[in-house]
A and B are shown apart, each in its own frame.
Chain A
């Protein structure tokens, strides 16, 4: 079985603050993939990043960065200098090599206050 836990249901920050969204996953497979998706108020789901289990390098893309730690089964997402446009629900997801089905966390709603 596979499971994704996003313990933070809602987070509010003031614009320009940094914020980290937590994601903890469970899988028995050694080959797996982790994803983050953004769902803005308009509703469409936007793919942000994919990471495979063999690559523990952290990744930075502009104001976004991801910290993948296999030792703690976590794949956390940090937004630096948050902006109002970052307000959305963010979903973490897992695809295990043997399971062939993407499992989503329950999402974290981020509100950036101007």
Chain B
């Protein structure tokens, strides 16, 4: 099973609760992305990790959102005090990006976590 794995696949939570979403990238992939996709919409960039570099957090919509990644392995996306507008599918993707070398590997996506905030 060498694909990107996300858990849970579905999460229903009450408004105001915190949630944590997990992503297991493909082994050896240096780059990891989180995207949000609202129903019928495109992919909204949230955050990008590349190796040991500082993450690009420019897409996080508010300070209720945070993400961590340990080395080049698992990442968790945390949403605090969830709001109904946070309802969406959260997609994780990984790829092999090495500056100056194999720079063009495509993203491999997980199946996403469908978050519903009631």
Contact = CB atoms under 8 A, between A and B. Distances in A.
Interface of A: 31, 33, 35, 37, 43-45, 47, 50, 52, 91, 93, 95, 97, 100-107
A102 B107 contact: yes
Contacts of A35: 106-107
Contact of A104 (B42, B56, B97, B108): B42
B106 A103 contact: no
Nearest to B104: A33
Given A45-B91, A93-B107, A102-B107, 12 more contacts: A47-B108, A50-B104, A50-B106, A91-B43, A95-B104, A97-B103, A100-B50, A100-B99, A102-B95, A103-B45, A104-B45, A107-B42
A101 B42 contact: no
Contacts of A106: 41-42
Interface of B: 31, 33, 35, 41-43, 45, 48, 50, 56, 89, 91, 93, 95, 97, 99, 103-104, 106-109, 111-112
Nearest to A95: B104
Nearest to B97: A100
A102 B42 contact: no
Main secondary structure of the interface of B (DSSP, over half): strand
B33 A102 contact: yes
Contacts of B107: 35, 37, 45, 47, 93, 102
B89 A43 contact: yes
Of all A-B residue pairs in the complex, the 6 with the closest CB atoms, nearest first, are A106-B42, A45-B109, A104-B43, A33-B104, A47-B106, A107-B42
B48 A101 contact: yes
Given A43-B89, A44-B111, A101 B106 contact: no
A93 to B, nearest CB: 8
